[in-house]
Amino acid sequence: MGLLAGVRAAIIDLDGTMLDTVPDFHVAITRMRAEFDLAPISAEQIANMVGKGSENLIRSVLALNFDAAGVEQRIGAAMDAYQRHYLDINGDFSTLYPDVIAGLDALKGMGLRLACVTNKPQLWAVPLLEMKGLLPYFEVVYGGDSLPRKKPDPLPLLTVCKDFDLPPSQVVAIGDSSNDAQAARAAGCPVLTVPYGYNHGQAIHETDSDGIVATLLAAAELIRSHQLN
């Protein structure tokens, strides 16, 4: 994995990589569904739908009960309700994954520049990062609505590379899903994946990445080992 030897920056995903946010999604979606007289669904069901942006998530949730026309009829009101409930509880039920802070400290300690790129709306992502003590680590934060296209499109990653004035080959992406890997491949960035997040119900081993790392700290140690060789 000599491709990590020249890494000078890292782009890190949020949901499923740094924070377990499914409990937040679960509460907000349960409250949204109650407004439509729909029964709650499980956190496991929600975890398999997370990662492609809020509208895709809510469409998938509605599709459990309605046909395509029924989803279309309700998506506007459902999005309004979901966003209202999510803003009420953003971060209250989410937790840091193990070794996230230690990993960020290690990456910064190696002199790497850090960006957070998430498909979560910017309005939610920045307060969440701040609440959990993560915001100071990042020079740049892009949400799913910050740019014309979101992951798995390479645009957010290429925008960070431009911000940092670095070639993609020197910017590693770290995430938990095929969205992150596809975006990185298309951008020309090396990519590492963690095995514990949300990958649309698929095993992370099926995702095309340059390595699976147990934690963010393990990612930092792997990068360091390649830079020392």
Spatial contact of 138 and 155, defined as CB atoms under 8 Å apart:
no
3-state secondary structure of 54: helix
Query: Tokens 């509208």 label which residue?
Result: 55
DSSP 63-129: TTTS-HHHHHHHHHHHHHHHHHHHHHHTTTS-EEPTTHHHHHHHHHHTT-EEEEE-SS-HHHHHHHH
pLDDT at residue 200 in the model: 66
Task: Provide the 10 A C-beta neighbour count for residue 83.
Answer: 17
- The CATH code for residues 2-21+94-228 is 3.40.50.1000
Instruction: Say how many Å lie between the first and final Cα of the chain, rounded.
Output: 11
Q: What does pLDDT average to in each consecutive run of 10 residues of the chain (229 residues)? A: 88 96 96 96 91 88 96 97 96 97 97 96 95 98 96 97 98 95 97 88 81 96 87
Domain ranges of the chain: 2-21+94-228, 22-89
pLDDT attached to residue 205:
78
* 113 and 88 Cβ atoms separated by less than 8 Å: no
Catalytic residue flag (residue 88):
no
Q: Which of 13, 20, 24, 176 is catalytic?
A: 13
The answer to whether 180 and 159 are in contact (CB under 8 A) is no
Question: Where do the DSSP E strands lie in the chain?
Answer: 9-12, 19-20, 95-96, 113-117, 140-142, 171-175, 191-193
- Interatomic CA distance for residues 100 and 18, integer angstroms: 6
Tokens for 74, please give them: 């309700």
Q: What is the C-alpha separation between 163 and 146, in angstroms, rounded?
A: 14
